[in-house]
Amino acid sequence: MMAWRPPGYLLTTQQLVRALFDDSTDESKLLTAAAAGKVELFALNKSWNAVLWLIMNTLKEDGKPIYSGVELGDLRSCLPIAWR
């Protein structure tokens, strides 16, 4: 008997950014479905690097990034995404 697996989707960098930063998108709905175990999401490591660049260069207070490397690492590990 084969184990059941939900459908999987590979997110591009643009789709990953939309999933994380705009909750009205289809990509955000996929992220929510992945958290519930209804789908599997995959993304390339270079896509995460692009998200890091975006966060570190846009979310600043007094010219310094508001998130530490540890906090960003925690965010990555909490996302329901398998990184390739």
Q: Which residues contact 48 (CB under 8 A, 6 or more apart)?
A: 16, 76, 83
* Residue 77 confidence class, pLDDT cut points 50, 70, 90: very high
- pLDDT digit string, tens, across residues 34-59: 999 999 999 999 999 999 999 999 99
* Residue 26 confidence class, pLDDT cut points 50, 70, 90: very high
What is the average pLDDT score of the chain?
Answer: 94
Query: Is the pLDDT reported for residue 33 higher than 70?
Result: yes
Contact 19, 31 (CB under 8 A): yes
Which runs of E-coded beta strand occur in the chain? 8-11, 40-43, 60-61, 64-65, 81-83
Query: What are the φ/ψ torsions at residue 68 (nearest 5 degrees)?
Result: -85, 170
Domain ranges for the chain, please list them. 8-83
